[in-house]
Amino acid sequence: MFKQSRFFTHERYQRIGLSAICIALASQVNFQTYAPGFIVTLSVFILPVILYFNRDFNPISLTVAVAVASPVFRGILLFISHDVDSHDNVIYILADMAFYLCYGLIYYLLYWRRGQRSNTTFFLTIVLCDYVANLLEVSLLTSFSHYTYQLFQILFITALIRSLVSCLLAFLYHYFQLMLRQENHEQRYYHFIWVASAVNSEVYFMRKNISEIENVMKNAYLLNQDLQQENVSEAERDKALQIARDVHEIKKDYQNVIRGLGDYFNDDTDTAMQLADILKVTTDYIRESIKPKFPNVTIEVHNHVDLMVPNHYYLVSILSNLIFNSVDAMEGRPSGAVIVSVVDRGSDILLNVSDNASGMDAETLAMIFQPGFTTKFNENGDVYRGIGLSHVKIIAQEQFDGDIHVESELGKGTTFTVKLSKKRLEQEADA
Residue 174, CA atoms < 13 Å, CB-side half-sphere: 14
Residue of 278, 315, 276 whose CA lies nearest to 189: 278
Strands (E), 304-430: 308-309, 336-345, 348-355, 403-409, 413-421
CB contact set of 298 (below 8 Å; sequence gap of 6+): 335, 336, 337, 338
Check residue 37 and give its pLDDT. Answer: 42
Kindly provide the b/e burial profile for residues 79-97, where b requires at least 16 CB atoms within 10 angstroms of the residue's own CB: eeeeebeeeebebbbebbb
22, burial (CB in 10 Å: exposed 0-12, middle 13-18, buried 19+): middle
User: What letter does residue 383 receive in the DSSP assignment?
Assistant: B
Can you tell me whether residue 31 is helix, strand or coil? Answer: strand
Kindly provide the b/e burial profile for residues 240-261, where b requires at least 16 CB atoms within 10 angstroms of the residue's own CB: bbebbeebbeebeebeeebeee
Check residue 419 and give its pLDDT. Answer: 94
Separation CA 25–CA 19 (nearest Å): 10
Query: How high does pLDDT run on average in the chain?
Result: 78
Residue 314 near residue 400 (C-beta atoms within 8 A): yes
Q: How many angstroms separate the Cα of 116 from the Cα of each of 175, 311, 402, 431?
A: 19, 42, 55, 47
Separation CA 44–CA 409 (nearest Å): 70
Sign of CA dihedral 140, 146, 152, 158: negative
Separation CA 293–CA 331 (nearest Å): 9
Separation CA 387–CA 383 (nearest Å): 12
Per-residue pLDDT of 147-201, as tens digits, reads 888 888 988 998 899 899 999 998 888 888 777 666 666 666 666 666 666 666 6
Check residue 237 and give its pLDDT. Answer: 67
Return the H-helix or E-strand segment holding 113: none
What is the pTM (predicted TM-score) of this model?
A: 0.52
Separation CA 297–CA 290 (nearest Å): 8
| pLDDT tens for each residue of the chain, 431 residues long | 344 445 445 677 788 888 888 887 777 665 555 444 445 677 788 889 999 888 878 899 888 988 888 767 666 665 565 555 666 667 777 888 899 899 999 999 999 887 677 889 999 999 999 999 989 988 888 888 878 888 889 889 988 998 999 999 988 888 887 776 666 666 666 666 666 666 666 666 666 667 777 777 777 767 767 777 666 677 776 777 777 777 767 766 666 665 655 555 555 545 678 888 888 888 888 888 888 888 889 999 998 888 888 878 888 888 988 998 899 888 878 788 999 999 998 899 999 999 998 888 888 888 888 876 665 544 444 334 445 788 888 889 988 999 999 999 888 899 999 999 999 888 865 44
Residue of 370, 274, 371, 268 whose CA lies nearest to 315: 274
418, burial (CB in 10 Å: exposed 0-12, middle 13-18, buried 19+): buried
Residue 419 near residue 402 (C-beta atoms within 8 A): yes
385: left (phi over 0), alpha (psi -120 to 50) or beta: beta
Per-residue pLDDT of 74-121, as tens digits, reads 666 655 655 556 666 677 778 888 998 999 999 999 998 876 778 899
Separation CA 66–CA 19 (nearest Å): 8
User: What letter does residue 110 receive in the DSSP assignment?
Assistant: I
Check residue 198 and give its pLDDT. Answer: 66
Can you tell me whether residue 353 is helix, strand or coil? Answer: strand
Separation CA 56–CA 9 (nearest Å): 11
Return the H-helix or E-strand segment holding 96: helix 86-107
Residue of 422, 412, 361, 366 whose CA lies nearest to 389: 366
For the chain, the straight-line distance linking the first and the last C-alpha, in angstroms and rounded, comes to 50
Residue 315 near residue 342 (C-beta atoms within 8 A): no
Return the H-helix or E-strand segment holding 238: helix 234-264
Check residue 115 and give its pLDDT. Answer: 66
